[in-house]
Structure 1
Amino acid sequence: MVYDPGKSLHSLHPLKETSSVYGGLHPISRSFGYGAGEVCKDVFEIGKVSSHMSEFQQLVVEVIKRKKTRKLFIPNVFYEVAGYHAPHMIHRVANGTGLGGSNYTLSQESRLDQVKGQLTHLSCRLREYGAEEVRDCLHRRPRTRLIYVGDSRIRQHVEVMLDLIRPLNPVLTTHKGQTITVGDFLGDKGMRQWKKYKHNFTVECPGLYVEFRWAPLLHLRTSEKGGVQPEFKVGGWDFLQALAEAEEDKMPDLLVLDTGAWQLHQRLETVLDQIDDASVYVMTKLRPLLARLAQRTTVVWTLPDPFKDYISHEYSRMSYFSHQTNTILEWVLNAQVSLPPLGIIKWDSFLPVAHAAVSDCVDLYVGNVSLDLLPAFNSFPSIMAWHCTERMHIGMEALSLAVQMTLNHICNPYMDGDYCCSS
């Protein structure tokens, strides 16, 4: 059984600077179809209220905006509360008519279809892109070059995007120059040989170039490795430094970064040491480099999705107890909100959806629903589609909405209709 809500998810768009809420000038924004210095943040950043919001949701949005503007601590609960009104995939029914005779059933519409593209915490409406709409967008845009740098939580954005644009016949090339089919990359072969295929790779099709760089520790040099699983603890500093000095035609239209989960993997003497090292120190070190990058392109910093704290920590031979909990992650998130330089887009609009996805998993556990009843999602097997048994990742089904946000940011200025960031 495969869950297919109808249209696939895929949309890219630029950001339009229209008020004092937005800061920083991006010369490369011309590739998005806007004038000099115009960058629209409406897709990525929570902060504008609108008439379609309930009074309660307006209050939540205003509080988040005020705390971000004043650089005050934002408890994770505000994003979780915003997620109460985000579209859920698991819904309660009566009389045991749900999955496996339970009182919970699976929506037959995608999250975006459920709300007709209007997330309650955003002031503008999202368009849902399929492969053909993406093809149309790429034909209209002068170029589309995207670079993602971070860990598996951001790499899976690229995988969902790759699945969506499969009809465009993308060419996928590994860091060793080997071409691999999309089916092999997204399937068992790619999962079994992660380092060979998914460590670093590029995706190309007419009008589109996407690059992923594995660098879960952005603040470290590539050579600074050590400790447990050193092959995974790769720094991103050298790559970002080279990018900041690259020729214009090598610069991306959009640079998407994430970090946080692997920073919490090591164990320091105290929790306060952990917080200082993983949040304040990291962002302070990255700040000058991020400022240089923000002068040359649009930089989107993806704030960390919540962990699933109902799943216990791993104590296997290859791992040990870590500080990868939502309580500690709050401090990392707030450092990433408060410390980047002006001009960096801090992507928090997906967080309510991520919390809704975690809530869906909790409902399944509370309802004692067998996870075997959950369907696959497009190319992704059930276990990856929903990720209810794994602490670190939001399911591919939910990430498809994050991909739609990215596509809306890039494509809407070139497409007809009244959507977020439309020209």
Structure 2
Amino acid sequence: MTTNAKLLARRTKAIPRGVSTATPIFAARAENARLWDAEGREYIDFAGGIAVLNTGHRHPKVIAAVRAQLDCFTHTAFQVCAYEPYIELAEKLNARAPIAGEARTILFTTGAEAVENAVKIARAATGRSGVICFSGAFHGRTALTMAMTGKVAPYKNQFGPSSADVFHVPFPASRYSVDVETSLLVLDHVLRADIGPDRVAAIVLEPVQGEGGFHQAPLELMRALRKLCDTYGIVLIADEVQSGFARTGKLFAMEHYDVHADLITMAKSLAGGFPLSGVVGRADIMDRVDPGGLGGTYGGSPIGCAAALAVLDVIETEDLCARAEALGARAKARLKEIQTRNDMAPIDDIRGLGSMIAFDLITERGGAAPDGAAAKRTTVRALEEGLILLSCGVSGETIRLLYPLTIEDDLFDQGLLRLETALKLQA
């Protein structure tokens, strides 16, 4: 019989330790918000493949669309022989993305690839090289996106000098005593001391930080960045790899603001579990790259495009934006009740848009010091209770909830109960 332990031993021998896995279990099958491991044990999935499964594991409409595409063809390379699903998906994203004016979309495979190409587009459009990002951000693990990521360990350790002309500004978060005024003061300092605004191609930020702890960019910050970018001809890039596709109660998190980004990167839940990413942005910026300057052999896979078209249909027909709001309100209410109980681990700063919900573990009730060790213990205990749960945050202190938005009500309640059990103090 195949067991988790046997598979873990094989994994250790065959795969380098540089790629880590949050749990010691191995998936055998999954359905919507349930996952069964190699030993047949059932889990409730509150991780969603790191925000990839907003429409759940194996949504019937997504699987049907993929099967239909498989009967036609699996690959041509869009640069060799184009196909309609790519065009149709681009048309739908252009129409629905919060981009001012006419839009264009190009498709890739991974989130990091989307972010890196967004920077390439901004550099081509402006003739500049500088990129400004924020602390706590996660933009990827490629050479450029690793430099853009605002956290050293584990993403930058051991890998030598970062790419040039990438600068960081502290992201506003009360947990770290940073407000919007402080962020803007540091940004002004960077523009006076390190790189002039006439050399900056792009400012890149997540509307809601993912790995950084699910902290939302304040409206005042977004407005100030938009004004700065308009003044100096800088491209404003919103990295929505984790926050997109109904997770925050909107198709894109940027819809919560009254200003627009110039480019938006997307991936994760775009294709319901199939590898697909993209950049949607202003046509006058997107069209500045010469033919052949963008692309990739697998970029815009026909299988991924078929899946993504089905995902957009599911989001609309099942009203997943409203579902995200409803589930998020229920989760936050339950967490606030847990926060008041003395038999629970001390938690703080329950937050989130829609169903992009998080809270922090702290060292003592009424305090503010983050407790990454307690967050890790919580994820381990949750797994023992049959709940797959992820932590994040600058100090690893944050628990994030990324359940499928299609989760059944009774299963959602069971998941919250298991979370409560994982947070209960042990005698």
Band the TM-score falls in, shorter-chain normalisation: 0.3 to 0.5
| Higher RCO (C-alpha 8 Å, min separation 6) | 1
Name the structure with the higher strand share: 2
Normalising by structure 1, what TM-score? 0.33
Normalising by structure 2, what TM-score? 0.33
